[in-house]
A and B are shown apart, each in its own frame.
Chain A
């Protein structure tokens, strides 16, 4: 089948789980014989490394070269960048910062950019829709709200069925302080799509309850993790030295970084030699740096800032425990990546991945006492750490993109 796919990040240029998911998923789909044209925004010229990498897998670099260039799984995948100042999960504040400080360096002078994220999404939509006219395809597959205008336009132009894949909802990202415009775009997409894929039952429930979408239209297909994502450049460096506990993700309301800080303070009262690392960036960072000072745990608590690629692998290889205290996590691929590095995992029950992971400890994100108690338990008992890591490895073998791709493929067949 020919698939026109709208996304906005792809390895190695990405800041969240969506790029990772798109990579694994498209690889799986290509393995089943589907041909995918992947449209994504291109912020600036620095996108080149990304294209180079894709080219290394045999995908045409130039946007004009759209034909399938021979055999091999990834040859069936065409990546087609469109200029737009979009980064995943950008919020209005951060977007203004980018444009004001001129870090974006737009190349395409023919287009006038607005200082408004929503306008940007719509502009991406128009351009993407126009690009979509040039391809033939059987089905449209779009990821999250930012691609909705593009996907709807392509849907109108072509009359082909639309599958909307929900990795995150505005309610997840912003709690109850939702952006009405984003909500409206999400609602539009969910209502007009022929089928909706949710990354967990938790997300499906939200789609059904908060957007009044008929449950029959929404299928749950879990994400997975592929081995090549973590090629283990770094060997595990945990050798009985002081223990390190890791938080990795955007430092935003959604990810619950504040609960991690509070738990760290409690753990340090019992185990004063533990090191806590918060890897990532986000709008709660300043507040949390202050809180760490207030709690007087600064010497045991480190902020690394935003990490990418190899840096992420390195930090996993240095960690003894990974904690994901998300307030609302539709899925959450990063615990699976931690498990690839033999790192035991504590997850919030408010995450989609908790629905499938058995060899992880689970807590309610707000239960700081329980979270700290579990962190202490893992650090105190080598037997626990060992069995969790060993069993998680077995479990990971069953969480495969090939399986997810088969389910998506089945859904395509039912839809076309």
Chain B
């Protein structure tokens, strides 16, 4: 029986305030609270609230047959807990239906696995705990920030007790194999691997409102028809995308909510098809083969690698300066400093420093609060400078 596995990533970083070199030593609060609140309110209004309401209605209508998954980053959880309890509550209502799986990730939406195994584990356990508390679920599925993935990561995740991990279905690891099957990561005994069908996912996430696209306009019926062609035994079509696709990246006027509203019915019109959450899909199938992924991959850009975050010398400098602070931070045993250090690990801060597509101005630009990658780097380094001083000063206090 072919399955459709829908997972939505929910994430908002903490945007940083404009922090000048001359602020170092004077200002120790790095967050741009006004901007974060403004964006959260906008996204809550345009996406989270209406989309949650729609999904809840669809789940009720389909009486258990429409099943989905979410992963909420720790940074978005912090922000909705702090400022928009109504949004948190609407996610909790979805959790209560029993048809929604909440995944685990690194709490800071970080790339920490590449830099510190110890901190990686701490962030995963922290996120697991929060999902348990807020949504009353013990996650069995793990996804790393921006679907970054490698053999080593899979092995570490298996050790943490997860049953399934998500990754990008890129040809780099698949060769000519299908992304619509369950796999086993190389080096793992139990862990299973679900791979994103990037064509079908991006048809919705990126191309939905593109008038130059040959398939425009995309209707739920047409889309379901494409899915129905993938009907071999054991097929799992993994549609993974940012939740903000609905109403924020694709505005309501594009008809994205109408599309979403009609989609479950259109897919379930075919009697063999069903929806499953990642954990359910992994349980019900045996791996079709092994996937070897020695180098890191991700769901970003054409390259599907980690160069969007760590591709240039500024990004490398920033990330290494940050992780060099780890031992000093731990020695201080200062909750505030630790929290700040973790907030600064969010991958978005490094993404803003990406120079790859800056000249062309595209998707990177849309998400970037800075005028240029250089401004992003300067701002970030000034903040690290101040944090580093604060660490030194806090040593003085504890003596």
Contacts and interface: CB of A to CB of B under 8 A. Distances in A.
Nearest to A391: B355
A372 B381 CA distance: 16
A373 B21 contact: yes
Contacts of A388: 374
Contacts of A383: 313-314, 316-317, 377
B371 A384 contact: no
B358 interface: yes
B375 A361 contact: yes
A395 interface: yes
A381 B381 contact: yes
Interface in A358-416: 358-359, 361-362, 369-370, 372-374, 376-377, 381, 383-384, 386-388, 391, 394-395, 398
Tell me whether chain B's interface is mostly helix, strand or loop, or mixed: helix
B20 interface: yes
Contacts of B377: 381, 383-384
B353 to A, nearest CB: 9
Contacts of A398: 359
Contacts of B371: 362
A384 B374 contact: yes
B21 A358 contact: no
A310 to B, nearest CB: 31
B22 interface: yes
Contact of B355 (A369, A374, A387): A387
A381 B382 CA distance: 11
B312 interface: yes
Contacts of A381: 314, 317, 377-378, 381
A384 B21 contact: no
A369 B382 CA distance: 14
Contacts of B261: none
Contact of A384 (B22, B314, B358, B359): B314
Given A358-B372, A386-B313, A370 B20 contact: yes
Contacts of B359: 358-359, 391, 394-395, 398
A270 B382 CA distance: 14
Contacts of B358: 358-359, 391
A403 B318 CA distance: 38
Contacts of A386: 313
Given A377-B378, A383-B314, A387-B312, A369 B372 contact: no
Interface string B370-396: 011111011001100000000000000
Given A370-B20, A391-B355, A377 B381 contact: yes
Contacts of B381: 377, 381
B128 to A, nearest CB: 35
Interface residues of B, number: 20
A376 B21 contact: yes
B313 A369 contact: no
A387 B22 contact: no
Given A381-B381, A386-B313, A373 B374 contact: no
Interface residues of A, number: 22
Interface string A236-254: 0000000000000000000
B314 A361 contact: no
A387 B313 CA distance: 7
Contact of A361 (B20, B21, B355, B372): B372
Contact of B21 (A359, A362, A377, A387): A377
A32 to B, nearest CB: 26
Given A387-B355, A391-B355, A395-B359, A374 B378 contact: yes
B22 to A, nearest CB: 6
Nearest to A349: B371
A358 B375 CA distance: 11
B123 to A, nearest CB: 26
A377 to B, nearest CB: 4
Interface in B342-368: 355, 358-359
Contact of A387 (B20, B314, B375, B382): B314
Interface in A254-286: 270
Contacts of A376: 21
Given A361-B375, A384-B374, A395-B359, A369 B314 contact: no
A359 B381 CA distance: 18
A239 B20 CA distance: 28
Contacts of B382: 373, 377
Contact of A373 (B20, B312, B313, B373): B20
Contacts of A395: 359
B361 to A, nearest CB: 8
A398 B382 CA distance: 32
A270 B20 CA distance: 14
Contacts of B312: 387
A370 B23 CA distance: 11
Interface string B1-39: 000000000000000000011100000000000000000
B1 to A, nearest CB: 51
Greatest chain A CB density within 10 A among B22, B374, B375 is at B374
Nearest to A346: B374
Contacts of A377: 21, 378, 381-382
A373 B372 contact: no
Interface in A329-375: 358-359, 361-362, 369-370, 372-374
Nearest to B355: A391
Top 10 A-B residue pairs of the complex, sorted by shortest distance between their CB atoms: A383-B317, A373-B21, A383-B313, A377-B378, A373-B20, A383-B314, A376-B21, A387-B314, A387-B312, A386-B313
20 contacts: A358-B359, A358-B372, A359-B374, A361-B372, A362-B371, A362-B372, A369-B22, A373-B20, A376-B21, A377-B378, A377-B381, A381-B317, A381-B378, A383-B314, A383-B377, A384-B378, A386-B313, A387-B373, A388-B374, A391-B355
Interface of A: 270, 358-359, 361-362, 369-370, 372-374, 376-377, 381, 383-384, 386-388, 391, 394-395, 398
Given A359-B355, A387-B374, 18 more contacts: A358-B358, A358-B359, A359-B372, A359-B374, A361-B374, A370-B20, A372-B21, A377-B382, A381-B314, A381-B378, A383-B314, A384-B374, A384-B377, A387-B314, A387-B373, A391-B355, A391-B359, A394-B359
Interface of B: 20-22, 312-314, 316-317, 355, 358-359, 371-375, 377-378, 381-382
